[in-house]
């Protein structure tokens, strides 16, 4: 192995994690830190280093609390492993089962093409159509799956422009770059709208539940997340079509006919698509109006709705005799790695709370007292935004949220301000192919180089940092009805 390989970040992290764990466990004992809290701190540092450097797969690293917490005395085994069965993990499983059924029967492609057909006519509207379709689908199915599904549709449209003799020279290359980036950006932006749209949202809900015993419902997040997605999507479209790229051709020769051709290929909507559509719409309706339905069914919960809907898909018949809408061989395609990451994040949150580490960290944050709250939000969002350019957004939130909760206590700020800031910022990494799976998917199209992504994405990062800071500071307290500069006795 070469010296360069030996000094790679993953190899350095592989050694540094355990070394810092042992040093903190044996030699780092600051005043006021209990032995249990010290053990959780040592374990958290090891896990964080392996997450950041990707010394081993990040989902495998998420299993470390099961080993480190009990052996170091930070948290008992039962409490640690129970975090991996948190109710929000099952909410994600139920939502993803619905997504698998949508993909299996091609409903997502039909919905996307219909949205593009309704919106798209000229070049900029075609891009808007793709963005709206991608964002809508990523509200309900994974950002990765959405971008993978939209990529071939986008490639077909780009080819249509290239093959048309009336098109200006190299116009299809410019259009191709803009369209690929619009798919990647809107996949990330759309996921912010719903609680199940992107993993960091559920990590936030889980940490709030573990730390404060308060539930963030689907509808509560939706009231906040949807306006962010809509605003950011509009800003992104204007930026891409008027500032980042310019088009000589305003009309799109043959673009509409290509969309119609792709729709004709799908044929009439199938029986199975109708069944999945009914389950999908019914589930969304129940999530959004759950607070009203609880007057009739008091114990109704978002997780119960998700699991019931997912289970129903195994019961409902397909048109072919003996087949069901979904079978177990298809359901095992669940992203188990993300589910383990959820569990690792919940275990960290439980360790921080139970050991007293969260409270101790809070007392160390006196330097932040007196800082303008808006400035703090701006700095936090900017730091998380840049951090997620090089690390997993799920690992980032799982690592940071248990730390930010006690920080809010120490400076007498409502925890939602800091926790939500970090969560939404983690979904807005637009610069690098490694930042998010959608970025990597469109980078593989061949239309983009890293300089293209950095040059365009850096301004999207700046715009998103400013917009998120304003929304979290001014609108979040109004939408969720709390006072931002007061840490409540119980989170409302």
Q: Report the distance separating Cα 219 and Cα 294, nearest Å.
A: 13
Residue % of the chain over a pLDDT of 90: 49
Question: Of 36, 51, 74, which residue is a domain's last?
Answer: 74
Around Cβ 127, how many Cβ atoms within 10 Å?
Answer: 29
In a domain, 411, yes or no: no
Q: Is the pLDDT of residue 427 over 80?
A: yes
Residue 466: enclosing H or E segment and its boundaries?
helix 450-470
Q: Which two tokens stand for residue 83?
A: 């975090």
Report DSSP state, residue 172.
H
> What is the pLDDT, as a whole number, of residue 248?
74
Residues 97 and 68 in one domain: no
In a domain, 198, yes or no: yes
Assess contact for 65 and 80: CB atoms under 8 A. Answer: yes
Q: Please state the rounded mean pLDDT for residues 332-339.
A: 87
**pLDDT by residue (tens digit) across 48-66?**
899 888 899 888 999 999 9
Residues 10 and 124 in one domain: no
> What is the pLDDT, as a whole number, of residue 6?
58
Please, is 6 exposed, middle or buried when counting C-beta atoms within 10 Å of its C-beta (0-12, 13-18, 19+)? Answer: exposed
- Largest pairwise CA distance in the chain: 75
With CA atoms as reference, report the closest residue to 404 among 435, 383, 389: 383
In a domain, 309, yes or no: yes
**pLDDT by residue (tens digit) across 453-483?**
999 999 999 999 999 999 999 999 999 998 8
> What is the pLDDT, as a whole number, of residue 242?
92
> What is the pLDDT, as a whole number, of residue 163?
54
Q: Is the pLDDT of residue 349 over 90?
A: no
Residue position matching structure tokens 């983690």: 426
Contacts 24+ apart (CB under 8 A), 356-360: 356/34, 356/36, 356/37, 357/33, 357/36, 357/37, 357/40, 357/41, 357/44, 357/406, 358/211, 358/402, 358/403, 358/405, 358/406, 358/409, 359/406, 359/409, 360/32, 360/33, 360/34, 360/37, 360/406
pTM here? 0.85
Q: Please state the rounded mean pLDDT for residues 67-72.
A: 96
The phi-psi region of residue 106 (left if phi > 0; otherwise alpha if psi is between -120 and 50; otherwise beta) is left
Using pLDDT thresholds of 50, 70 and 90, give the confidence band for residue 491: low
In a domain, 137, yes or no: yes
> What is the pLDDT, as a whole number, of residue 492?
47
Q: Report the distance separating Cα 14 and Cα 36, nearest Å.
A: 24
In a domain, 96, yes or no: yes
Question: Of 331, 365, 396, which residue is a domain's last?
Answer: 331
> What is the pLDDT, as a whole number, of residue 488?
79
Report DSSP state, residue 269.
P
Q: Report the distance separating Cα 479 and Cα 416, nearest Å.
A: 12
**Which residues does 93 contact at the CB level (< 8 Å), separation at least 6?**
306, 307, 310, 334, 339
> What is the pLDDT, as a whole number, of residue 435?
81
> What is the pLDDT, as a whole number, of residue 365?
65
Residues 155 and 104 in one domain: yes
Q: Please state the rounded mean pLDDT for residues 266-291.
A: 92
**pLDDT by residue (tens digit) across 10-39?**
888 999 999 999 999 999 888 888 999 999
**Which residues does 43 contact at the CB level (< 8 Å), separation at least 6?**
21, 64, 65, 68, 69, 72, 74, 351
Q: Is the pLDDT of residue 254 over 70?
A: no
Q: Which domain holds residue 43?
A: 1-74
Least trusted range by pLDDT, from 62-71, 77-86, 359-368: 359-368
46 versus 356: which is more confidently predicted?
46
Q: Please state the rounded mean pLDDT for residues 427-453.
A: 87
Using pLDDT thresholds of 50, 70 and 90, give the confidence band for residue 266: confident
Residues 162 and 43 in one domain: no
Using pLDDT thresholds of 50, 70 and 90, give the confidence band for residue 7: low
Q: Is the pLDDT of residue 434 over 90?
A: no
**pLDDT by residue (tens digit) across 285-311?**
999 898 889 889 999 999 999 999 999
Domain count, the chain: 2
Residues 13 and 152 in one domain: no
In a domain, 489, yes or no: no
Assess contact for 59 and 26: CB atoms under 8 A. Answer: no
> What is the pLDDT, as a whole number, of residue 432?
83
Residues 254 and 213 in one domain: yes
- φ, ψ at 100 (rounded to 5°): -65, -40
In a domain, 368, yes or no: no
Using pLDDT thresholds of 50, 70 and 90, give the confidence band for residue 440: confident
């Amino acid at each position: 192995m070469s010296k360069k390989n030996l000094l790679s970040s993953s190899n350095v992290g592989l050694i540094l994690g355990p070394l810092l764990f042992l040093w903190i466990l044996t030699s780092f004992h600051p005043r006021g830190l209990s032995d249990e809290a010290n053990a959780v701190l040592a374990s958290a540092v090891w896990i964080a280093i392996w997450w950041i450097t990707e010394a081993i797969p990040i989902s495998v690293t998420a299993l470390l609390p099961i080993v480190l917490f009990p052996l170091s005395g930070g948290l008992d085994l039962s409490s640690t492993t129970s975090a991996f069965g948190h109710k929000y993990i099952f909410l994600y499983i139920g939502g993803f089962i619905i997504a698998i059924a949508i993909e299996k029967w091609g409903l997502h492609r039909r919905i996307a093409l219909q949205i593009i057909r309704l919106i798209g006519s000229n070049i900029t509207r075609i891009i808007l159509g793709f963005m709206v379709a991608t964002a809508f689908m990523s509200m309900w199915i994974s950002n990765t799956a959405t971008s993978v599904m939209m990529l071939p549709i986008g490639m077909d449209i780009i080819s249509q422009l290239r093959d048309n003799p009336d098109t200006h020279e190299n116009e299809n290359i410019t259009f191709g770059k803009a369209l690929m980036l619009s798919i990647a950006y809107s996949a990330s932006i759309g996921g912010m709208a719903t609680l199940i749209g992107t993993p960091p949202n559920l990590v936030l809900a889980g940490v709030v539940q573990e730390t404060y015993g308060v539930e963030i419902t689907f509808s509560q997040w939706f009231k906040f997340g949807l306006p962010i997605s809509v605003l950011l999507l509009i800003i992104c479209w204007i930026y891409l079509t008027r500032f980042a790229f310019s088009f000589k051709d305003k009309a799109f020769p043959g673009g509409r006919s290509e969309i119609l051709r792709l729709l004709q290929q799908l044929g009439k909507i199938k029986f199975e698509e109708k069944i999945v559509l009914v389950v999908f719409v019914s589930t969304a309706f129940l999530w959004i109006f759950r607070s009203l339905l609880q007057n009739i069914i008091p114990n109704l919960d978002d997780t119960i709705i998700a699991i019931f809907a997912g289970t129903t898909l195994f019961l409902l018949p397909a048109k072919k005799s003996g087949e069901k809408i979904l079978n177990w061989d298809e359901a095992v395609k669940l992203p188990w790695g993300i589910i383990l990451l959820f569990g690792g994040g919940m275990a960290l949150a439980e360790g921080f709370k139970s050991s007293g580490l969260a409270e101790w960290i809070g007392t160390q944050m006196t330097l932040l007292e007196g800082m303008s709250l808006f400035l703090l939000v701006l700095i936090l969002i900017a730091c998380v935004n840049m951090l997620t350019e090089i690390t997993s957004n799920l690992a980032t939130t799982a690592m940071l949220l248990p730390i930010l909760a006690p920080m809010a206590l120490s400076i007498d700020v409502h925890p939602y301000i800091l926790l939500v800031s970090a969560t939404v910022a983690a979904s807005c990494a637009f610069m690098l192919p490694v930042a998010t799976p959608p970025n990597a998917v469109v980078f593989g199209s061949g239309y983009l180089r890293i300089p293209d992504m950095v040059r365009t994405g850096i301004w999207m990062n700046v715009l998103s940092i400013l917009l998120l800071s304003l929304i979290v500071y001014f609108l979040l307290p109004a939408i969720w009805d709390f006072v931002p500069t007061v840490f409540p006795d119980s989170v409302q």
